[in-house]
Structure 1
């Protein structure tokens, strides 16, 4: 974007790394100075959606059902219409690979999959933010690979 960052803006930072041919993916959103109450509310709603989805991760779960968990939280906060992408995707040799975590996905989670959980809210010309973590699906539930704090950082 050509927009200059100003006080009151949210800035979304999407990070990745590659180690021995395998990729990672993580996103954090930071605030520049003081942000509006609406921005705080949206941030905490997205965080709530992400945490609910993380708690639901388990083998054999339909990916569309996992997407529905996060979407349901955003619906409760009247933000679901602004969640314009799927909840996540697989990560491995490619940064975006199966499974796809979306409303239309026919995929199911399996042990040893590495996926992202990344709900976001994007209100055109007003606000956009996403929180993304990398997750390893275990035999029973999941292990969080991303170790970064998710509290809203204000610069």
Structure 2
């Protein structure tokens, strides 16, 4: 090599026996030539071989990626669909239906004279939970509403008193 002859190309050097016995040409400090096995920076190439299906597989079998089975593909497709449905549910606007409540229930209950607002709120909560009673309450006359509220609040106070006595 001291005779000014060209050193050759990387392809001329492949397959030559070296000190490490790996079949790589030792260039630039004794290590394998990066251009020979395709690991040179910026090339992005990898050493690979053709598999039985014609799909390129890595040369190192321990790093081989396995293909998905039909069952796994079905599961992933199902999960993808579920995620899309959840995303759609988050994106759709929420409409609150007030068909369960009589439109005049709040006014009829809270504007009944002679009761504390706390008592009226307790009665309103009961009427909201019991739709039929709420509809009936709205249909009552003012005097009957007062009578109903007195009876309901008396029962409620008796329940609270019996619970506090038992504790």
Instruction: Classify the TM-score, shorter chain.
Output: under 0.3
Q: Which structure is richer in relative contact order (CA contacts within 8 A, separation 6 or more)? A: 1
Name the structure where helix makes up a greater proportion of residues: 2
Instruction: Flag the structure with larger Rg.
Output: 2
Q: TM-score, normalised by structure 1?
A: 0.19
Q: TM-score, normalised by structure 2?
A: 0.18
